[in-house]
Amino acid sequence: MLSRHSKGLRPLSFLVLTLCLSQAAQAQVPPPSQVDAMASRDVGVWSDFARPLAPAASNKPTDDASFSAISRGGPWTAADWQPLSGASQTLMAQARAGQWADVLATLKAHNPDVDPRDRDGATLLTLAARQGQLDAVRELLRRGADVDRRGLLGFTPLCAAAAAGHDLVVQELLRSGAEAERWSAQGQPPLHLAARAGHARVVRTLLASGARALAWNQAGRHALVEAALGGQTEAIGALVEAGVPAAAPDRHGLNALHAAAMHRHVAVVAWLRQRGVPVPHPLTQVLLDAMTEGVQPTP
């Protein structure tokens, strides 16, 4: 009798066990409604996340308060955002559209706050600096805009101008007291951004202002290595002309030759080899050999 009942219960027991396991698995995965409310724990990924029970934020940078957690290693959440209205809303819309003559007219007509920030984290000064709008930059600074306040993409105005290669704007910001080595939210100083993008004139301007070429960024690289990563021979030349050793190692003991070989920048490798820059690591030689043989190395 016991054996017969036991056999009859086996399918039911299996079904109950399956349901329990399924529920346990589901308990480990948050429902879709909560996914946007979870903060990233990877400090290399920078996105906005909404607070629990709040509308999901866009996956774009926010303001300084949000980025302050970077120094503590993250994670962080989106700061409260207040919708823009009136002249501030008009100004930001005009700046986004590149209507800088209208921006200047609105500033003069309404005398509004010059440091509004939209939901994407943009400020008027970072937008103007990024687009090389010297007149707008001067007017915003004259009206008291914060010269070092981070904006779109977590860039300071100086970072934005340096990355875009706007040397006159860079000079204006430096004259107005911008910090030459203030990092972007991604851990890049203005000099490193200019070097990576190949803006040799901006590199020279920043060096003349006191920016340190061999200072490490958040990734442990100096400006010469950043220029090599970008394949920017002219920027490398500007740094070397300013007295930066072509073979200077970064925090990892690697140099510009390794960076150029890693990204297969043939012209930069040739420039550095002609100046006697040594191979810093056996892996560097493997990368150089692969370039010579025309073989794409395995990542």
Looking at domain 82-179, its CATH class is: mainly alpha
Alpha-carbon distance of 196 to 232, in angstroms, equals 7
pLDDT digits (tens, 9 = 90+) for 112-145: 889 888 888 889 999 999 999 999 999 999 999 9
Query: What pLDDT digit, counting tens, does each position of 146-161 carry?
Result: 999 998 888 999 999 9
Q: Does 247 have pLDDT greater than 90?
A: yes
Indicate if the pLDDT at residue 66 is higher than 60: no
Q: Maximum CA pair distance of the chain?
A: 96
Domain boundaries, the chain: 82-179
10 Å CB burial of residue 298 (0-12, 13-18, 19+) is exposed
Q: What is the pTM of this model?
A: 0.71
Q: How confident is the model at residue 10 (pLDDT cuts 50, 70, 90)?
A: low
